[in-house]
Amino acid sequence: MLNTKLRALAAGVVLGTPMMSGSALAADGATLYVEKTCVACHGPEGREPAMNAYPKLNGQHEPYLMAQMKVIKDGSRGNNHSVAMKNIMHKVTDEEMAVIAKWLAGLK
């Protein structure tokens, strides 16, 4: 059993894909985007932010989206507009961020 888990982890590392929990795998990016309330500020599919100061997210590069979510979550990036997002990000796991980032990056 342990060997199987180690092989799966190694495969994920080699292939560059994060190992995701069952809940993140079960939900798709669109569902998580709504459930985690991203839609409230960034608009449907990240296309129509509630304020001009908020970024459009659709079609952004996946690594960029992940990096921004992580630095807001860990507090190393902060400004007047990221305060609201920081209050949400503690409820979003790294696995969920990866699913959301992948979905947003695929939108055009």
CATH topology (fold) of 27-106: Cytochrome Bc1 Complex; Chain D, domain 2 (1.10.760)
What pLDDT shows up at residue 44?
A: 95
Domain ranges of the chain: 27-106
Per-residue model confidence as pLDDT tens for the chain (108 residues): 444 444 444 444 344 444 445 555 557 999 999 999 999 999 999 999 999 989 999 999 999 999 999 999 998 877 777 788 888 999 999 999 999 999 999 998
pTM of the complete model: 0.73
For residues 57, 59, 61, 67, the Cα torsion angle rounded to the nearest 10 degrees is 10
18 contacts 102 by C-beta, under 8 angstroms? no
What pLDDT shows up at residue 3?
A: 46
